[in-house]
Amino acid sequence: MIALDRAEVQRRLDGFDRRASDGHDSGVRPAAVALTIAERDGHQGIWLMRRPATMRRHAAQYALPGGRLDPGEDHSTAALRELHEEIAIDLPADSVLGLLDDYPTRSGFVITPVVCWVDGDQTPTPNPDEVAKLFFVTFSELMVEPRFLTIPQSTRPVIQLPIVNALVHAPTAAVIYQFAEVVLRDRPTRVDGYEQPVFAWS
């Protein structure tokens, strides 16, 4: 069983040379997602959602709590706000331990992953408008080896993670894989070379 304390996670993130998007493309919309380290039944893990099939964008896809930045927000503030709105986890600003690499998506967003730490026992309450199903994915489950596919539409490999009895694709799979590499394995790994499946391009 993998177990990390807050100081060790902080050390690994501080030692990671994060890459931020240059932000020169005016059509790109900034977004943030929360990789929230919590504990349940003695196991550490993160929350992962499946979106409702009725959503206008990214329906029925797997996602981390997150969304677009509101005017005046930074990435950490947006991630914490979305975490509260989507699964009712309310964390202070100092729960943020660091950021992973920005990941540009085919649908016009640049996602900034925000790593957060939960102190104490908080029980999520999913918002049914945003979450069809909520999963707690343990650190041990996150250590799974990714799968890679080739598609005719791109020269980059499509990354999949076989977790939650399903195949989770990029961008979520890429972000989670980097979290597993940097935070769990203490191994700096880039994921911007991994592609999304075509169904996630719009």
| Over residues 155-174, mean pLDDT | 96
Residue 58: per-residue pLDDT: 64
Residue 17: per-residue pLDDT: 97
Residue 167: per-residue pLDDT: 95
pLDDT band for 170, please (50, 70, 90 cuts): very high
pLDDT band for 200, please (50, 70, 90 cuts): confident
CA pair distance 17, 77, nearest whole angstrom = 21
Mean pLDDT score of the chain = 93
Which domains are present in the chain? 6-143 (3.90.79.10)
What pLDDT digit, counting tens, does each position of 48-64 carry? Answer: 999 998 766 666 899 99
121 torsion bin: left (phi>0), alpha (psi -120 to 50), beta (else): beta
Query: In the predicted model, is pLDDT for residue 45 greater than 80?
Result: yes
pLDDT band for 27, please (50, 70, 90 cuts): confident
Torsion angles phi and psi, residue 95, rounded to 5 = -80, -15
